[in-house]
Structure 1
Amino acid sequence: MYIIYIGNFLSIVVGDKIGLDTWFVHMTKEEDPKEEKPPRFTVEVLDKLTALMITGFGLVAALAWNDAIKLLFKEVFGMHEALWAMFAYAIFVTILIVLITIYLSRLLRIAKEKEK
């Protein structure tokens, strides 16, 4: 009999044969999950998976804002296909992204300094 630990939150007892093959599951012979630390590989995979999911959600939000800003330019400047309006939009978005990136970089640097 095996106990399968998924993180520190869930344990599943199964029979002698296990057909589960995944990186996110750590299998042991009937051990106490509180005494065992998760393998470093599992933590790294979950860390990277979380970062990728957050990036994906950020992309979805960015696309939503892209549509909203395009609609705003269409309302303000009329035809959104006008060449000058598209360049104005591109310049506006570029400046906004640069400012946000600078701000977030400063926040990260301050947080790292406080951590030390």
Structure 2
Amino acid sequence: MSIKTEIIGKIGALMTVAFGLVAALAWNSSIQALFREVFGTAENLPAMFGYAIIVTIIAVIATIWIGRLSELAKREEETGKSA
């Protein structure tokens, strides 16, 4: 692998992570706004912890779900099946 190919690959990976971070920040702002609509101000400590717990639970569930989908797709690819 040439240095040029390696550099392009690394830049692509960094850009992907950067876009992921921007998307995460946008979702964070949206979820915080939703939380304020439902539960009122999120300035007090219990509300902040509630928000953190809810977001963590959603993140864990989403991560497990995406991991299972990824594993299923890999198995289907290995066996030659189409989705």
Shorter-chain TM band:
0.7 to 0.9
Residues 58 and 85 from structure 1, CA distance in 2 versus in 1: closer, same or farther, beyond 3 angstroms?
Answer: same
Larger Rg: 1
Task: Considering fraction of residues, name the structure with more strand.
Answer: 1
Task: Considering fraction of residues, name the structure with more helix.
Answer: 2
**Pairing 1:101–2:59 present:** no
Size of the alignment, in residue pairs? 77
How far did residue 96 of structure 1 move?
A: 0.8
Structure 2 gaps of 5+ residues are 79-83
- Who is 2:19 aligned against? 57
1 or 2 for the larger relative contact order (CA 8 Å, sep ≥6)? 1
Structure 1 gaps of 5+ residues are 1-39
TM-score normalized by the length of structure 2? 0.76
How far did residue 92 of structure 1 move?
A: 0.8
- CA RMSD between the two structures: 1.7
- Who is 1:111 aligned against? 73
Of 40, 47, 61, the match for 1:78: 40
Q: What does residue range 25-44 of structure 1 map to in structure 2 within 5 Å?
A: 40-41=1-2, 42-44=4-6
Which whole-Å CA distance do the structure 1 matches of 2:34 and 2:46 have between them? 15
